[in-house]
Amino acid sequence: MRKAIFFSLLCLLGTGLSATAKDYPVSSAKELSALNLKPGDRVLMKEGEWKDQQLKFKANGMKGRPIVLMSANPGKTTLNGNSTLDIDGSWLLVDGLSFIKGSLDSGEVVNFSEKSFSCRLTNTNITDYNNADDKADYTWVSLRGSHNRVDHCLFQGKSHQGVTMVVWLSEKPNYHQIDHNYFGPRPELGRNGGETIRIGTSTWSFHDSFTIVEQNIFEHCNGEIEAVSVKSGRNIIRNNLFYECKATLTLRHGNHSEVTGNYFIGNGKPGTGGVRIIGEDHRVHDNYFQDLTGTGNSAAISVMAGLPNPILVSHWQVKNAVITDNLVVNCKEPFAIAAGYRKDRYLPALNTYFAKNIIVANSDPLKWYDEKVVVKFEDNLIFSTSFSGEKGRGFELRNEQLKKSADGLFLRPGQADFKPFWKSEQVGPISFLYLNKKIIIN
């Protein structure tokens, strides 16, 4: 019997599941800072209003035994005033907080420190955290460090200067993950600095990030022309929904990124856009575009003209873009070639490959802003009454109608019915219940 108990204890300790983990109730940032936290510990924030509290969550957990900072009563702990949170350590988990109607002058509401590693922000809400001066420039979430995750959170109502969420680069790749979040309405700012997500900066744009952005909903994110601005290399933006956004997913700087499986639903709203391509070796494939009204830089798929002798903040020449297997339905400008072309921005895209795309259009699906650009077209299907095809072969005209799924999405020929992720998975915090909301597809 003793041997069995001893062996069980050894197994428990060997897997890191010792019985020493503790719960620590706290009622202020000062009490949090005073704790000496160990792997497996939980910090339980007292329910109620936390005003002007600068939370410093600094500790080091272990894989499988994170240290948790959470509301003692989920959804009942509200931070406001100038309250902020700094996540500084490894294997730290923040769960179930709400930042509502606070205000900062600068900095960030939630910050993952440069030393943060494998930390996670989940089930958390930041809403209307706005300075009265809309030129006050601060970020709601800053991701530094590496291998951190932001998931099942809600961000909505940002009306002041500054990006909602920023991935900051360093000499080493980030490997961050941003998934299953709801990014709600953001009104037009009227100037730069209104992005919803930005991965990198112009000055760091030749560094690789390896950040994944997936299964998020961007609804009415209209802060500026870029809803998601990629300014680094080797990122994956996949299986997200951009719903009635007067903004685009822009590969603004950096190379070797992939945009796949995303949905862009415009419902005919003014200025709604798709994907904008700048830089080298990007892949844009298996995306869905419907009823977008944007043109030029805001077309469904836009390949930009480049600047000669570019500096880091310039529009670099497009090279080796691979655009395949996309479905573009009833968009005002399905494919814009050399968008942004002007006398000083004239470098043509080189080695662009446009193949196996399906376009449904009542007008010519190709818009040429520079007639000199050469694009290789191959095996595309065009459902159109006015496609001229004068730019070369690579298109097959079809007359039949595409079928629709039960949820109103057009299906590719031979594609079986399916449920998109926002119909089958939880997006945003548990209390948000996005599955009970409806995405209407006209």
Predicted confidence at residue 19, as pLDDT, reads 55
Predicted confidence at residue 8, as pLDDT, reads 42
How far CA 166 is from CA of 112, 142, 245, in Å, comes to 10, 5, 19
Predicted confidence at residue 438, as pLDDT, reads 74
- Work out the pLDDT band at 391, boundaries 50, 70, 90: low
**Portion of the chain with pLDDT greater than 70, in percent:** 94
Max mean pLDDT range (10-14, 307-311, 387-391):
307-311
Strand partners, 207: none
Predicted confidence at residue 5, as pLDDT, reads 41
**Average pLDDT, rounded, for the chain:** 93
- Work out the pLDDT band at 388, boundaries 50, 70, 90: low
Residue 117: which residues within 8 A CB-CB, separation 6 or more? Answer: 89, 90, 91, 145, 146, 147, 148
Predicted confidence at residue 12, as pLDDT, reads 42
Q: Where does the chain hold its CATH 2.160.20.10 domain(s)?
A: 89-436
- Work out the pLDDT band at 14, boundaries 50, 70, 90: very low
Pairing of strands 283-285, 275-277: unpaired
What are the tens digits of pLDDT across the range 182-228? 999 999 998 888 999 999 999 999 999 999 999 999 999 999 999 99
Given a cut of 90, whether residue 296 has pLDDT beyond it is yes
Q: How many angstroms separate the first and last alpha carbons of the chain?
A: 69
Given a cut of 60, whether residue 15 has pLDDT beyond it is no
Given a cut of 50, whether residue 9 has pLDDT beyond it is no
Given a cut of 90, whether residue 120 has pLDDT beyond it is yes
- Print burial letters for 2-37: b (CB count within 10 Å at least 16), e (below 16): eeeeeeeeeeeeeeeeeeeeeebebeebeebeebeb
Q: Can you name the CATH fold of 89-436?
A: Pectate Lyase C-like (2.160.20)
Given a cut of 90, whether residue 271 has pLDDT beyond it is yes
The model's pTM: 0.94
Predicted confidence at residue 6, as pLDDT, reads 40
- The mean per-residue pLDDT over the stretch 347-369 comes to 94
